[in-house]
Amino acid sequence: LAAQLSRFDSPREARVFESGYALFGLSQPLLEEISSDVMAQVNKTAGSLGISLVKRDDSTAVIKARVDQRNAILKRLGEHTKDLAFIGAITRNNDYSDQIDDVIGKMRRDLKVLFGFSATAVFLLNKENMVLEGYSSSKDETLSKLSIDFKENRSLAANALLQKRILDSFNTVLPDPFPVVDRQICRLLAAQGMVVIPLIAKNHCLGVVAAGLEATDLPKLKAKLGLIAMFSGEAAQSFLNHRQIDELILDRLNTIQTDFQLQAKKVIHEANNPLSIINNYLYLLGQKLGENSPQEIGLIQQEINRVGELILTLSDTQGAINEDNDLVDINVLIQDLVSLFKGGLFTSYRVNSVLKLDDKLPKIALSKPKLKQLLTNLIKNAAEALSSGGNVTITTQDRVYLGSKCCVQIEIKDEGLGIPEKISNNLFSPVISTKGAGHSGLGLTIAKNLVDELSGTISCSSVPGEGTSFQIFLPRKT
């Protein structure tokens, strides 16, 4: 039916209308309307390609053009098809999982391959401040120092985006013929001038690309303006897609965070009740025992309070552990922890503790809860490494230097089997624990984070069959 309709332009062909109705239920008025719309589109497309349509005596449409005109039309059509193929390839190669650095890197690569723009700079529009900000990759931060007011005539870049068209510094006249910021951009591009390509997608002004340009490049630039405009549209759409994906991810993260805080509040409420009851019973037990109350009851109460403080950190709205740096006696803190471990973990693992504490060690200004959690993790790890019993040696030493930095050193050493090589290669990253059920494999990761928060350094040495030693270096702030 389409073939028949495309070959006739006469109401006398009633059989075609009859066929259209019999096959598809299309009435004659509807088919005539379709034919008219199609002819209008054909005329518009032909006109854009420089093709003149006339009707012969038999009403058949023909192309009225000489051979040279036909060849010129075919050449333009071929170039247009090639341009579409280029743009299609670029679009298919776009991966929305790429980071923005990669997206901009691919765009700059394509600009070089397609148009010979070897030096380019990207400026993205910051809608909060209404400025075009130079985008710098992680490897080069030069452009990040440049920003352009998004106002008319402040720069060629601002005008190109405001006017939504490609501008070059050779054919564009501004009140200031060559603004200072434009001269800076050309200097960075090591070029005589520049062409500025706006990045616009679905009426979203996203930014511009500035490319270095010499006066001798102008004829080639003029010939490629159509393709450059098509390319910039696809590049802008890619930016817009990535931005929308990022916003969607951020919204989801905010939702997850809100849900987490709600659940955290419930956990805090439910967990603190039994902790408070246990603490009250320990207090009553201490009162009944009077002077005979063992020191361990006080230590247990301190640990329960610390558990409560750790639970509070689950929710930002509930506060966090006191971050004030106190003057901490590290030796006393170690002795208290060892005393606590002696009645439980050390006994069950048949561990002996050996303390070599520097009695000249001063009190150090740091977060006591964090240091306590750090030492607890490392001492516990050392004890659990001694499956057949042995010694855990804890050493402190004042005035140990890391370069010019004066530190206090704490060493925790065991006589276990050592750390397997496959774990030691990623020692402070989360791993599958080798200790079996009940162990998360996060202990050393948490230890490393705590050392970082204490502005310290941690290192490890391990010999298979002989044991493992962790050295902690903390700034000597008194």
Give residue limits of the domains in the chain: 2-64, 97-245, 322-475
CATH code, 97-245 = 3.30.450.40
Question: Global pTM?
Answer: 0.43
HSE-CB of 278 using CA atoms within 13 angstroms: 15
Does the pLDDT value for residue 309 go beyond 70? Answer: no
What is the CA 168 to chain-centroid distance, rounded? 34
**Lowest-pLDDT range of 16-20, 51-55, 462-466:** 51-55
Query: Class of 322-475 per CATH?
Result: alpha beta
- Whole-angstrom distance, CA of residue 406 vs CA of residue 118: 50
**Confidence band (pLDDT; 50, 70, 90) for 86?**
low
Reading the block at residue 46, the tokens are 């032909």
Q: Average pLDDT in the 461-477 region?
A: 90
Indicate the residue type of 443.
G
Does the pLDDT value for residue 228 go beyond 70? Answer: yes
Non-local (6+) Cβ contacts of 429 within 8 A are 445
Higher pLDDT, 426 or 338: 338
Q: How many residues does the chain have?
A: 478
**Three-class SS of residue 211?**
strand
pLDDT in tens, 279-298: 666 766 776 777 766 767 77
Q: For position 272, what pLDDT does the model report?
A: 63
